[in-house]
Amino acid sequence: MATVSPECQANSIKQEVVRQHNKSQNSLTYDGQLVNDYLLISVDPFLHSRVSVIRADQYFRKHKESDLLISRKFVKILRDLENQLGSDDYLKSESFTNIRSKIEPFISYLLSLSPDNIKAEATYDNSVFFTFVKNGKKYFLEKYLNDSIGFDDIEMSLVVNDDPENTRSYGGTISQVLREFNKELGKNYLDSILSSQRI
């Protein structure tokens, strides 16, 4: 019987985990670092072996939970929007399917940033207004639903209220605004690290 080296065995299991993991993903991607983490820490205690064993059950349990949570949040956001449109006399004429098709990728993107909380509301100005909370800070994103925009128009806006003396508002194309949003989230991340170090 051919002997399989521990490294080879570990590699093949790792590949299988990555393959299954990728198969289970739709649009969300991970960088593989978590798989490596599991590989390094999981030495089988029962056999007292030095063979690295991937605790695939732990890995998948964790990631299925996180994906499930994202899916649940995703569905909840859409369900809340649908309920709002159905119960509001002024918004009843809006087609939920139409709104949904325009914001689904955007919701996926926002959820991939692991917000502490996120809410979406349709407005009377043909837009969807998102409140995104991360590390205790609120960000307000408004996605306009017009099919085409004029030269002096915007596709999206972002409002950051963390400075009581000066609210910052960004407007432009989706990519321009998301670039600013990422910069703001970067500042937020640094602030949270600095404040935790002070503690």
Partner 1 sequence: MAYPVQILPNSNYKFIDCHVGDCVLMRTTGSPSDEDIWDSDLQQIKVAQLANPRERVYDMSTNLLGVFERDHCKIHFTQTGKEKYSVSCEPDTVVENPTEIIDFLLLDTVGIIYAKIEDVAGIKVTYTSGDSKNPITYYGESFVKHTPMRWNFWHYSIDWKISIKSAGSDEYETVPQERLTTGMLKQIASAARSRLVEKFSLACDSYNILDESCYMKDPALPQQIT
What does each C-alpha distance from 90 to 54, 65, 122, 125, 147 come to in angstroms? 55, 38, 11, 11, 20
Site string for partner 1, 116-135 (x = CB under 8 A): -x-x-xxxxx-x-x-x-x--
Contact assessment for residue 42 and residue 55, using Cβ atoms and an 8 Å cutoff: yes
- For partner 1, which is the closer residue by CB, 43 or 91? 91
One residue of 138, 145, 162, 192 binding partner 1 per CB under 8 A? 138
Under the binding rule (CB under 8 A), the answer on residue 171 touching partner 1 is yes
Under the binding rule (CB under 8 A), the answer on residue 46 touching partner 1 is no
Under the binding rule (CB under 8 A), the answer on residue 166 touching partner 1 is yes
**How far is the C-alpha of 111 from the C-alpha of 74, rounded, in Å?**
8
Under the binding rule (CB under 8 A), the answer on residue 181 touching partner 1 is no
Residue 30, φ and ψ in degrees, nearest 5: -125, 160
Buried b (16+ CB within 10 A) or exposed e, 28-61: eeeeeeebeebbeebeeeeeeeeebbbbbeebbe
CB 187, min distance to partner 1, A: 15
Contact assessment for residue 28 and residue 41, using Cβ atoms and an 8 Å cutoff: no
Residue 187, φ and ψ in degrees, nearest 5: -65, -40
CB 63, min distance to partner 1, A: 26
- For partner 1, which is the closer residue by CB, 100 or 172? 172
Interface positions with partner 1 (CB under 8 A): 84, 88-91, 117, 119, 121-125, 127, 129, 131, 133, 138, 140, 142, 144, 149-150, 152-154, 157, 159, 161, 165-172, 176, 179-180
